[in-house]
Homo-oligomer: A and B are copies of this chain.
Amino acid sequence: MLMTVSPRRRSVAVSDLDGAMAAVRGSGLRLTTARRLVLEALLAAKRPISAEQIAHGLDGRLPASDLASVYRNLETLEGLGLVRHFHAGHGPGRYVLDGFTEHEYLACESCGAVEEMEPSALDGVREAVRELTGFEARFSHFPIVGRCPRCARPERGRSTKEVHHHA
């Protein structure tokens, strides 16, 4: 079931198409059209998107491709460390192209916004979890879910700096 993929570790995040394609080639896997399309869609989207969005070519901006192949390629690319995905509440998984630059997320359960954070920014949370429960929390695959500042405190207008993107 595992395919032979050399666990080639890189130290730099691959966020450009050429780098990603080189990484695929370098891993010994083939750089096919379908594979490149997945990379292009993720790159063009610049934010977490679903497998279906990729298969639909970002609503026509790119050629469409087979959903099953998209899933297979996402899995493959994730194995190479070029892609990651997470689950923000219900609905399909969301995939991003940013190599080993692990991020963590917070999802708003009322407006659907997803906030991306540097893992270090949540160290305080992780620390609190460890102290209170002994668990080592990780919010990169299953985000923190709750209500974003705007939904939690609508009175206070737009004082916060964040830019949210919606599903």
* Stretch with Cβ within 8 A of B (4 or more), from A12-20, A53-61, A114-122: A114-122
* Complex contact A147–B128 (CB within 8 A): no
Instruction: List the B residue with the shortest CB-CB distance to A150.
Output: B134
* Stretch with Cβ within 8 A of B (4 or more), from A23-31, A40-48, A76-84, A138-146: A138-146
Q: Could you say how many copies of this chain the assembly holds?
A: 2
Residues of the B chain whose Cβ atoms lie less than 8 Å from the Cβ of A132: 121-122, 124-125
Give the most central of A109, A115, A125: most B CB within 10 Å: A125
Q: Could you tell me the distance in whole angstroms from the C-beta of A134 to the nearest C-beta in chain B? A: 4
Interface residues of A, Cβ cutoff 8 Å to B: 89, 106-109, 115, 117, 121-122, 124-125, 127-129, 131-139, 141-149, 152, 160, 162
